[in-house]
Amino acid sequence: MLRSLAAIVVLVGIIIFAVQHTKPVYATRGTLAEELRRNAPGVAATLGADDTSQVGRLMASPEFQQQKRAFFEDVMRLKQVDSARADSIATYAVREAYVRGISPAIIFGVMLTENARFISAATSNVGAVGLMQVYPKVWLTKTLKASLGEDLASDSTNVKYGVFILSQYFNPRTKSGGTKTVPWTTALLHYNGCVKGTNTPRCHTYPSKVKNFVEQQATSICNGKGFYECIAKPFIAGLFGAEEPSGTASKSSSGAVP
């Protein structure tokens, strides 16, 4: 008990220090949980990445509620869904943004690029499904189904997969077990499945489409910030970053196959 209390005190100190001293970083940086595992493993051990009660506490925080409200406002401004649906989409998107350490602005831009009408059961001509056009042949593996679910037409499940896939490309693992920085354009091209562009010659424009949606439609999320500042996030943002499930798909696979 005393050890747990001491760990919590240390954790609070780390959080306060991070908020006060850390400048925003691009979405390619690892989550705070990863930094804690490297620099304070004893504290990290108390954070169980799969502890849903901790995610619940996170979702009750004023910062989460503020970012959820901003996401909700931007979805409502598009006039494609009612307020209840916009609220649920915002909840799922910002929750996964925190869990995976991906900027809400990037998630919003990808959603609009993939499925601007927010049709849950939308299916592309190659079989990609849902809000973030997840390709089941690549990502609906036994391991991921066990941890993320399997109904890709469910908004909650689809966003879990979509943001997980983004995290694979924005924060790829190194052989040493850490993460490395990847340019946002490269990460988005991989998400789209555009490596050589042989199947879809103009797929190289995908990152610019996402950027344009963020700049033009993410009014509340960005709140007057330019694109690069908007896709940045505080070091604290990935506090409850989840561990990468074992047996995940190859990095050469995509979320939305062109």
211 assigned to some structural domain? yes
Compute, in degrees rounded to 10, the torsion defined by CA atoms 22, 27, 31, 34. -100
**Cα-to-chain-centroid distance, residue 189:** 16
> What's the rounded mean pLDDT across residues 222-228?
94
Residue-level pLDDT at 79: 98
pLDDT classification of 239: cutoffs 50, 70, 90: very low
Q: Is the pLDDT of residue 127 over 80?
A: yes
What pTM, to 2 d.p., does this model score? 0.74
Residue-level pLDDT at 18: 44
CB 193 within 8 A of CB 204: no
252 assigned to some structural domain? no
Taking CA atoms, 237 is separated from 77, 103, 177, 234, in Å, by 25, 8, 21, 5
Percent of the chain with pLDDT over 90: 54
Residue 31 belongs to domain spanning = 2-238
The CATH number of residue 34's host domain is 1.10.530
How many domains, in total, are found in the chain?
Answer: 1
253 assigned to some structural domain? no
245 assigned to some structural domain? no
pLDDT classification of 196: cutoffs 50, 70, 90: low
248 assigned to some structural domain? no
51 assigned to some structural domain? yes
157 assigned to some structural domain? yes
244 assigned to some structural domain? no
pLDDT classification of 195: cutoffs 50, 70, 90: confident
